[in-house]
Chains A and B, each alone.
Chain A
């Protein structure tokens, strides 16, 4: 036995969907068998009648809300009718939905157009694809993912460089941009020290130490551990050096890396020389060429790198002027150890460099009689000594070699030593200077550098030797270290204008990021007060490789 109760609300309009919802609510009440909630149009009345839910003689027309409840007993029916208002008023607060989380990078960008960074921490085999898309959308990339192939890394970085964008990573653990830490980063105060790190924990150690010493960080730019390998060629580190050099907030730059490849280290050091700012360099496992070369300081530990950087903030540096000399330097030495020390110093910033007394195997000069690129020649080497006097006594071989070098149009600088003292030639410059002047008559562009080793008590009269050289326009230094510094600065590489620079103004805008991957990175951005959007990322085509490969071909 069931009982039917009804209620009519005149002139109350509700959308049918609201009514279906109410009906579902009524059905859920105890004792209710069936319910109908409709605007009492003819069609709806017919529908109720068909389900045996239309009581007779109901005074309702199309504009009235008709509520009918069929229940097991009278009280259940009455109670249900009594609940109508409550059910209509009920807000679904228990199911408050979250803000929409985009599923793709492109719609995330639409949601947060001011985003300037994309943080990527998806599994390695998908990471390059996401990074490529981010670059296409004109965003800098923080690429935390590892297991990205070297080819992909090179391709990504080249494409970023074409667009004036940075790819930090792959395998980049740490960065601090505009005071906002990306990935793993310590909370450090803002300041005037810019950090470029090819090592995540190295960057953390240095930035934390800088903070602990009372200074702060402008930006810490990560490069990923492979950036300083020769295959990648420090593309990101070079861009970072350039942008930090242009950033007025950055007073000191600190460059740290796990063991770099020597030729890449050389290029970076060379570029660092032309930044016009103090640059503190710590390349773990790489022999420092000196304590200081011009604006560069070489540290021997992470903590020392931080300490030097902090000291440099308050020092207004003055360095020898730099320029980008074209051509090669050729060193024609009589002293083997002087040649060796000069090579050690110059190899940090000149590349390629060769010698008949090489430090590393790849510096070996194939034919000691013929210089290549930058060359440091020890004429006192056995090879040259067969049937000859030592070049400290006999200048003939040196003069001929100097003329030979000057005949090479690619040579821009000739370096030589003048070693005075007992046993040496009594007036070496008296023979060398006429030869230099002869060369200068046809090659005004060649710069001559002399390294004069001796004392004021030596028999040759050191002052007159120096004067003769200087009158001939030769730059004279008394130590190898000074000569090395001078030459390094002369040959420092200006930044190449081949690629658009990273936009400094954009880098200085408040960080807004799109996070693809580890959700904790998103939480970290939000808790640091940055704007961020998290992409609900899934492997393309649900991980179906065949489809994913097709999609990759169908990208454009």
Chain B
């Protein structure tokens, strides 16, 4: 068996994947094995007792939203009685930012990989402030979620149905030339997204006041496109998973307690986990490092697919995250080439003479060089419901890569 050949196969599948945003539909209708009492969450699988504040809050919020429970206490006791099941989004082709909590009635984006046929899913982005993905579940949060499901979700469903779908690979490529890195900065991508949706929404929505609200909501939220981008990255990395002998990392995800990775040539549900680290970064007014929760969210799927922190060089507006100068941003990307197997054919960076982004984390290189992937991330408050307190940088613990290497050696008899 030749590992380089296996990795080339995996990387080609990742790059040739053609994620098309096809529609929006209730999770129960589209996500495989979705059930009414099943709640999906970000990161590797985790049981209730070990969940962090924001994830627990989001779970309670989802149960209230679904009507499974009438109150926080009821929700908690239902969970404790085992009446609710949990599973990792990744086991169902799904991803979600921060808590990543997705329940059966929630509307989700459906992305289809036109090249290989696999599908991926992600919930709708709620914007800033008090939001479920940071563990908030107040009346106001639930009200917004219902509006998103009923008004925004319906508008998106109809608009996308009236189109041939949105080519997410092209959208990401364009946004990278406009100062986005696709994870912490999605301003340009969100505007492109709005530009693509607006005529479709205008064609399909009858109620002008509601249409205005919808367009305003998408346009105001610089993270609008984050969720479809994540689903696109998920479609790409899933296409690269399961290649016999490959050492390419196909998932990096955090549940607020553990950081987990999966590797292409290892098992479908074989996670390597260790306690997630606390991101270091810049904080909104009134918050500091002490408020930060351990790293959380599936959004590291962007880095896994070769954008986000890996494409830092192309996002000079947010260089403060990496030390302050555009040169530091370039160095951040150059460092990631050290641990990737290839360079993207489609995602390029003008500042590096249109070099492709570092793509396909190679387990071997991470362990050999002791360089872990850089992940740009939002920072959640450690208490449920407070919300985002800042943004910064985090790296996964090196030892999960070492564990994965040992598991690889065992599986392949090295």
Q: Using CB atoms and an 8 Å cutoff, list the residues of chain A in contact with chain B.
A: 15, 17-18, 20-21, 23-24, 34-38, 41, 43-44, 46-48, 50-51, 53, 62, 68, 92, 95-97, 99-100, 102-104, 107, 110-111, 538, 540-542, 544, 547-548, 550-551, 553-556
Q: Known contacts A43-B128, A102-B338: does B286 contact A50 (CB below 8 Å)?
A: yes
From residue A21, how far is it (CB to closest CB) to chain B in Å?
Answer: 5
Is B334's beta carbon under 8 Å from chain A? yes
Asked if residues B129 and A107 are in contact (CB atoms below 8 Å), the reply is no
Secondary structure at the B interface, as helix, strand, loop or mixed, is helix
Asked if residues A92 and B369 are in contact (CB atoms below 8 Å), the reply is no
Chain B residues 203-233 with CB under 8 Å of chain A are 220
Asked if residues A15 and B414 are in contact (CB atoms below 8 Å), the reply is no
Q: Which of A51, A96, A110, A540 contacts B368 (CB 8 A)?
A: A540
Cβ contacts under 8 Å, B406 to chain A: 547, 550
Is B116's beta carbon under 8 Å from chain A? no
Q: Known contacts A107-B334, A550-B409: does B327 contact A17 (CB below 8 Å)?
A: no
Q: Using CB atoms and an 8 Å cutoff, list the residues of chain B in contact with chain A.
A: 2-4, 127-129, 185, 220, 247, 282-286, 317-321, 323-325, 327-328, 330-331, 334-335, 337-338, 364-365, 367-371, 390-391, 402, 405-406, 408-409, 414
Distance, CA A38 to CA B128, complexed state (A): 13
Query: Can you list 14 pairs linking A and B with CB atoms under 8 Å apart?
Result: A17-B282, A17-B319, A18-B320, A21-B282, A37-B285, A96-B327, A102-B338, A104-B338, A540-B369, A541-B367, A541-B402, A547-B367, A551-B405, A554-B409
Cβ contacts under 8 Å, B128 to chain A: 43-44, 47
Q: Known contacts A547-B405, A550-B406, A556-B2: does B325 contact A538 (CB below 8 Å)?
A: no
Distance, CA A95 to CA B322, complexed state (A): 12
Distance, CA A206 to CA B172, complexed state (A): 62
From residue B132, how far is it (CB to closest CB) to chain A in Å?
Answer: 15
A-B pairs, top 10 by smallest CB distance, nearest first, are A51-B286, A36-B285, A20-B282, A100-B331, A15-B317, A92-B324, A43-B128, A100-B334, A17-B318, A17-B320
Q: Which of B285, B331, B409 contacts A53 (CB 8 A)?
A: B285
Cβ contacts under 8 Å, B282 to chain A: 17, 20-21, 24
Cβ contacts under 8 Å, A540 to chain B: 368-369
Asked if residues B127 and A43 are in contact (CB atoms below 8 Å), the reply is yes
Asked if residues A43 and B409 are in contact (CB atoms below 8 Å), the reply is no
Q: Which of A20, A95, A547, A548 contacts B390 (CB 8 A)?
A: A20
Beyond contacts A555-B3, A556-B3: 5 other A-B pairs, Cβ-Cβ < 8 A, are: A95-B324, A103-B369, A104-B368, A104-B369, A540-B369
Distance, CA A53 to CA B286, complexed state (A): 9
Asked if residues B367 and A551 are in contact (CB atoms below 8 Å), the reply is yes
Asked if residues B335 and A92 are in contact (CB atoms below 8 Å), the reply is no
Asked if residues A542 and B317 are in contact (CB atoms below 8 Å), the reply is no
From residue B182, how far is it (CB to closest CB) to chain A in Å?
Answer: 15
From residue B78, how far is it (CB to closest CB) to chain A in Å?
Answer: 30
Q: Which of B320, B328, B414 contacts A554 (CB 8 A)?
A: B414
From residue B318, how far is it (CB to closest CB) to chain A in Å?
Answer: 4
Question: Which residue on chain A has the smallest CB distance to residue B331?
Answer: A100
Distance, CA A44 to CA B353, complexed state (A): 37
Asked if residues B321 and A17 are in contact (CB atoms below 8 Å), the reply is yes
Distance, CA A542 to CA B402, complexed state (A): 11
